């Protein structure tokens, strides 16, 4: 279970006290944080997660090349503590604007020149404190929708996600603030495109199959990933991921399953290693006669596939076969290409057959 707001405030206060202590002791104020970047990320086979390594970096106030970043990190930490104590949240863009000002006596120098500076300190703080930015009361943009038998409590409202029309429940940016009261479903289907989400909703796939439909509208937001994680962890709900049959769809699956390189330090909170991949695959093209509705691979697609072939998290026999088959056929296939068979084919045949026969990729 995640830390309470009080515990996060305590962590931030401890961070500040530690700095003050060093000043009182006439020592150089410094702090350490886990290093970022690919060379501090590894794939842990047993957990099936991308994880942060053990390397750490130090920032020292008295080192001229550190002092700007040192000040920025402390400014953000202090403002996050205010947010927590005021029970407010801010977007990371608002945080940037909140703290942007001219340094006293320095006409041309600002605390932050652009948002990449503040965003990078936010990531450092997440790493240092080992909390989600949402626990620091910082939000990312929201996207994605949920349909199905879930009751959530969100900002004082009780929402029955099975009664949300075609629109659905809009997944909020900050999942830490919602309370999932009940889940009555056999599994959740995570869908790459909102077009396919609309199709399955129109076919009443959620009701007929007692399933949750989570439409991402492309790369899933942090909110959507965290929601999937919580649905699986708290309610033991099986998760099936349904993307386009192309290297970008496979990357989306991968991020949901193992985490991302950028946010490797959050994999244990954002990723869902037990999820399964339901499609689209190259065997679908053969099995369902979809050759006519494939699209030719572009050079950058082939390059991406070759990269994925070398990733340890695509190391399984099944994924190697899939990726090699794609390179050999030189085609990709979109999930909406199933409409070639008939509009309801995906809901009446494709998905139920795969789920019944447990025809998944790992």
Q: Any residues with CB less than 8 A from the CB of 244 and at least 6 apart, and which? A: 192, 193, 280, 332, 333, 334, 335
Task: Kindly state the smallest distance separating residue 268's Cβ from a second copy, in Å.
Answer: 25
Q: Is 178 in the site for a second copy (CB under 8 A)?
A: yes
Residues in 131-150 that interact with a second copy by CB under 8 A: 139, 141-143, 145
CA-to-CA distance for 141 and 94, rounded, in angstroms?
12
Residue 280, preceding peptide bond in cis (omega within 30° of 0): yes
- Under DSSP, is residue 137 helix (H, G, I), strand (E, B) or coil? coil
What is d(CA 117, CA 259) in angstroms, rounded to the nearest whole number? Answer: 24
Instruction: Give residue 312's Cα distance to chain centre.
Output: 20
Of 20, 33, 43, 97, catalytic: 97
At residue 149's C-alpha, the angle toward residues 148 and 153, to 5°, is: 105
**100 vs 321, which CB is nearer to a second copy?**
100
- Residue 323 or 337: the one with the smaller Cβ distance to a second copy is 337
Q: 7, 45, 153, 186: which one contacts a second copy (CB under 8 A)? A: 153
* Alpha-carbon gap, residue 19 to 106, rounded angstroms: 25
Segment interacting with a second copy (CB under 8 A) among 172-180, 184-192, 228-236, 322-330: 172-180
CA 162 to chain centre: 24
Which of the ranges 36-44, 66-74, 98-106, 315-323 carries the binding residues for a second copy, by CB under 8 A? 98-106
Considering only the stretches 38-46, 47-55, 122-130, 197-205, report the one whose residues sit in contact with a second copy under the rule CB under 8 A.
197-205
* Residue 180 interacts with a second copy (CB under 8 A): yes or no: no
293 touches a second copy (CB under 8 A): yes
Contact 148, 204 (CB under 8 A): no
Q: Distance of alpha carbon 82 from its chain centroid, rounded?
A: 26
- 99-118 positions binding a second copy, by CB under 8 A: 100-102, 110
Is 311 catalytic? The answer is: no
How far is it, in rounded angstroms, from Cα 35 to Cα 53?
Answer: 8
From 52-60, 64-72, 302-310, 330-338, give the range in contact with a second copy by CB under 8 A. 330-338
The residues that are catalytic are 97
User: Interface residues with a second copy (CB under 8 A)?
Assistant: 88-91, 93-95, 97-98, 100-102, 110, 139, 141-143, 145, 152-159, 163-174, 177-178, 193-195, 198-199, 201-202, 217, 292-293, 334, 336-340, 343
């Amino acid at each position: 279970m995640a830390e309470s707001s009080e515990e996060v405030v305590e962590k931030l206060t401890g961070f500040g006290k530690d700095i003050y202590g060093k000043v009182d002791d006439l020592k150089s104020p410094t702090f350490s944080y886990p290093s970022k970047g690919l060379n501090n990320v590894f794939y842990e086979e047993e957990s099936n997660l991308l994880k942060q390594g053990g390397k750490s970096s130090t920032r020292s106030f008295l080192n001229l090349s550190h002092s700007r970043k040192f000040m920025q990190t402390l400014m953000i930490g202090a403002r996050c503590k205010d947010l927590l104590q005021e029970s407010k949240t801010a977007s990371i863009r608002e945080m940037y604007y909140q703290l942007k000002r001219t340094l006293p006596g320095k006409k041309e120098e600002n605390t932050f020149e652009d948002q990449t500076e503040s965003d990078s300190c936010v990531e450092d703080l997440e790493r240092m404190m080992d909390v989600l930015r949402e626990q620091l009361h910082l939000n990312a943009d929201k996207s994605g929708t949920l349909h199905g038998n879930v009751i959530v409590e969100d900002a004082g409202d009780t929402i029955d996600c099975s009664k949300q029309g075609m629109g659905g429940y809009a997944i909020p940016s900050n999942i830490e603030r919602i309370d999932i009261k009940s889940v009555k479903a056999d599994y959740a289907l995570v869908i790459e495109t909102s077009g396919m989400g609309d199709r399955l909703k129109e076919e009443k796939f959620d009701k007929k199959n007692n399933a949750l439909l989570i439409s991402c509208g492309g790369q899933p937001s942090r909110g959507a990933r965290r929601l999937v994680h919580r649905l699986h962890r708290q309610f033991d709900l099986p998760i099936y991921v349904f993307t386009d049959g192309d290297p970008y769809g496979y990357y989306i699956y991968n991020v949901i399953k193992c985490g991302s390189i950028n946010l490797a330090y959050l994999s244990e909170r954002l990723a869902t290693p037990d999820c399964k991949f339901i499609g689209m695959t190259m065997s679908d093209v053969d099995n369902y006669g979809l050759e006519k509705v494939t699209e030719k691979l572009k050079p950058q697609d082939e390059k991406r596939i070759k990269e994925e072939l070398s990733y340890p998290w695509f190391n399984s026999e099944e994924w190697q076969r899939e990726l090699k088959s794609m390179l050999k056929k030189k085609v990709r296939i979109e999930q909406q290409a199933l409409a070639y068979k008939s509009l309801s084919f995906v809901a009446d045949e494709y998905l139920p057959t795969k789920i019944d026969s447990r025809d998944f990729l790992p």
